[in-house]
Structure 1
Amino acid sequence: MPQWLEIVLRTVCAVVVLFLMTKLLGKRQVTQLSFFEYLTGITIGSIAAYISLDLEANWYLGLVALGVWVGCSLLIEFLQIKSKKARDFIDFKSTVLIQGGKILEDNLKKEKLSTDELMQQLRKKDVFQVADVEFAIMESSGEINVLQKRESLPLTPKDLGIQVAPEKPGQVVIMDGEVLDEPLRVSGFNQGWLVEELDKQGTKIKDVFLAQVDTYGQLTIDLYNDQIPVPQNEERKLLYANLKKCQADLELFSLSTKSKKAKQMYEESSKKIEKILADVQPILKT
């Protein structure tokens, strides 16, 4: 057999085995590499290269070595799941770098992290002042997680006592000019509704590169032609404005009437609309 053909066959075999064993190790092997998993990934790649190119050795020995490394990795992952002591021994423990707005210099030196690197990691978390940090912790993966002081956190609807509707994942209903029926159905709509909404925005399905439906049933689109401005659907804002106008009219009527009964009726109706506005504001003003 020609050497080039043997290398092709060995490489294909190595790719197939490597793919299967990587699937066996799971997603964590790719997305959350521990120190040992990092070494395992490098070693497995080296063994795969050995299987492909070392024509003087028996190729199946490389597969045996590959299997042993994968087996050891699975065993260590099993121990990590079952025992915290094993996790602490195999992986690194989390280290507090900032506490109460104060940098812990000893822990910084322990992790071999410079002040510039720490500040860079804080900026990645949108934090520019150390004094604003309640805790900054370096995880075993090397990532730094930051908890800002309460007074430095941005206001949320909960802080303001505002109730908002529960969020649901947005659904892509058009992709590459093609309607996706299943996400459209999950959103509670059909193609008739979709065509009607697109007509309101002056466009057709074939002209839409991507369309999404959000939690509140709002359709947003991206057109193939980036030069065409996409009109915004103002129906909800218009409905909110009309409700506000009705409330203002009722208040005006209550002030202008001389009838106590009518005045009371207008005031009660105005308060009801005010309560409705408070409930629907998070939806209609999005």
Structure 2
Amino acid sequence: MTEYFEVILRSIASFGLLLIGTRILGKQTISSMTIFDFVASISLGAIAANVAFNTSVKAYHAMLAFVIYVIIIFTMALISLKSRKARKFFAGDPTIVIENGKIMEKNMKKMRYTIDYLNQQLREKDVFNIEEVLFAILETNGTLTVLRKPQFRNVTKQDLVIPITPESKLPIELIMDGEVIKENLEQNNLTESWLQSELNKRSLVQQNVLYAVLSANGNMYIDTYENHIHSPIDKE
């Protein structure tokens, strides 16, 4: 029974360590990872697992190793911020796999990167015809960045000389789960009475609103708990 209790405590400590370590190291640890981020995450996970259930390893030894790893990774991240050479060493360089519409087979061979995988990643970018590609670059985190040839790029309002309404701010969330987000109102010089008047215009009450957001162009999107959809396509 004592061992079970110890594993419970160690598991809670392990989760806390991972959470604190990730907060210290930043969001890049959980985003699309570079080789360095991958090695760091695997190492931290392995140490945290040992903290949780490997009772043959003293808890404070594993915790000390975890702290040392966090310090090493954090230090390397700081060095990378200061030095471009360090960034290249830890994360590597992006690799061009298509240049001026031509597949760079030598670059692909060095990375053991196949045409099948290239086609898969192109399809993920909505490119089903490789002839549309001007440049394709394999980034250090393994994602593929694609620049289409001019004739295959999406037309923009600028291309068509269509007037646009300038936008200088992000959408503002006003209500979530039926609760008014007062901080957002205050930060954007909005009042609850103004919000209430907007709801009144739509014959709504706050308690019935699941989500309300004010877009950058001034339009308000409101979703209520009652959807009024008699035959939903997907119902769980």
TM-score, normalised to structure 1's length? 0.71
**Identity across matched positions, percent:** 34
The whole-number CA distance in structure 2 between the counterparts of 1:180 and 1:51 is 39
Q: CA RMSD in A?
A: 2.5
* Distance (Å, rounded) in 1 between the aligned partners of 2:190 and 2:12: 47
* Pairwise CA distance, 1:32: 4.2
CA distance in 2, matches of 1:55, 1:198: 58
1:202 deviates by 3.7
Post-superposition offset of 1:187 = 5.0
Aligned to 2:234: none
Shift of 1:143: 0.8
Kindly provide the amino acid, as one letter, of the partner of residue 203 in structure 1.
L
- Deviation, 1:139, is 0.7
Secondary structure in 2 matching 1:28: helix
Query: Which structure features the higher share of helix residues?
Result: 1
Match of 1:266 in 2: none
> Bigger radius of gyration, 1 or 2?
1
Write the distance in 1 (CA, Å) between the matches of 2:220 and 2:111.
Answer: 48
2:206 is matched by which residue type in structure 1? Answer: I
What residue number does 1:258 align with? none
Measure how far apart 1:210 and its partner are.
1.2
> In 2, are the aligned partners of 1:187 and 1:213 still within 8 Å (CA)?
no
The residue type paired with residue 174 of structure 2 is V
Note the C-alpha offset of 1:137.
Answer: 0.3
Contact 1:209 1:224 in 2 (8 A): yes
Q: Which residue of 1 aligns with 2:121?
A: 121
- The alpha-carbon distance between structure 1 residues 123 and 54, as it changes in their structure 2 partners (threshold 3 A), is closer
The answer to whether residue 40 in structure 2 is matched with residue 36 in structure 1 is: no
| Matched residue count | 229
CA contact (8 A) 1:187 1:217 kept: no
> Quick one: distance in 2 between partners of 1:132 and 1:156?
18
Correspondence for 1:170: 171
Instruction: Report the counterpart of residue 214 of structure 2 in structure 1.
Output: 213
Q: Supply the distance in 1 between the matched residues of 2:216 and 2:165 (Cα, whole angstroms).
A: 9
Larger displacement relative to structure 2 (169-178 or 105-114)? 105-114
Q: CA offsets per residue over residues 134-173 of structure 1, 9 Å max, x none?
A: 2110011111111122222222121222331222211121
Find the residue that maps to 1:31 and give its secondary structure. Answer: coil
- Structure 1 distance, partners of 2:150, 2:157, is 15
Counterpart in 1 of 2:227?
226
Q: Deviations over 1:103-144 (max 9, x none)?
A: 222222222222222122112222222222221100111111
User: Which structure 1 segments of 5+ residues have no match?
Assistant: 230-286
1:45 counterpart residue number: 45
TM-superposed deviation, 1:206: 2.5
User: In the TM superposition, what are the counterparts of 1:137-286 in structure 2 within 5 Å?
Assistant: 137-167=137-167, 168-186=169-187, 189-227=190-228
Residues 207-253 of structure 1 deviation map (CA, whole Å, 9 limit, x = unaligned): 22111211232122112111169xxxxxxxxxxxxxxxxxxxxxxxx
| 1:170–1:214 Cα contact (<8 Å) kept | yes
**Partners in 1 of 2:209 and 2:134 — Cα distance?**
46
Counterpart for residue 10 of structure 2 = 10
Q: 1:214 to 1:52 in 2, by over 3 A?
A: closer
Query: Is contact 1:102–1:131 with CA below 8 Å preserved after alignment?
Result: no
1:38 partner letter: F
Q: Secondary structure at the match of 1:38?
A: helix
Cα offsets for 1:66-117 (capped at 9, x unmatched): 2222222223223322222222222221111112222222222222222222
Q: Which runs of 5+ in 2 are unaligned?
A: 231-236
1:186, CA displacement in angstroms?
Answer: 4.8
Q: Which has the higher contact order (CA 8 A, sep 6+)?
A: 2
Partner of 1:236: none
> Bigger shift: 52-61 or 147-156?
52-61
| Distance change in 2, residues 1:183/1:71 (3 Å) | closer
- 1:111 is aligned to 111
Q: TM-score scaled by structure 2? A: 0.84
The answer to which of 79-88 and 142-151 deviates more is: 79-88
Amino acid aligned to 1:82: K
**Cα distance change, pair 192–135 in 1 and its aligned pair in 2 (3 A):** same
Deviates more, 1:45-54 or 1:210-219: 45-54
* 2:28–2:37 contact (8 Å) kept in structure 1: no
More deviation in 198-207 or 22-31? 198-207
1:232 equivalent in structure 2: none
Is residue 173–residue 212 contact of structure 1 (8 Å, CA) maintained in 2? yes
